[in-house]
Amino acid sequence: MANNKKYWSGLDELDGTEAFKEIQAKEFQEQIPVDQFLADERHSSTTTGRRDFLKFMGFSITAATLAACETPVIKSIPYTNKPAEITPV
């Protein structure tokens, strides 16, 4: 079963206006070669070690795990007068 849904980000994209086509053509116009990017001196001065990387990864995974967990909602209503037939175990 193929997924043929097409998502659009705005009415300009849906209508296919000329303004949207111009913006889309300019968005990724310039390609930076990988060799030029890696030879940049600003990137060679970073010194993130293995331990720092593992700290960041551990924090990220822990934060994502805790954000995904939800505790069940337990609604409890205390009795003001205990019914005779109910005895807690």
pTM for this model (two decimals)? 0.32
Does 53 reside within a domain? yes
Domain count, the chain: 1
Domain range for 37:
32-69
Report, as ranges of residue numbers, the positions in the chain whose pLDDT lies below 70.
1-2, 29, 37, 40-46, 88-89
pLDDT per residue over 11-29, tens digit each? 888 888 888 888 888 877 6
Does 39 reside within a domain? yes
* 3-class SS letters over the chain: CCCCCCCCCCHHHHHCCHHHHHHHHHHCCCCCCHHHHHCCHHHHCCCCCHHHHHHHHHHHHHHHHHHHCCCCCCCCCCCCCCCCCCCCC
Does 37 reside within a domain? yes
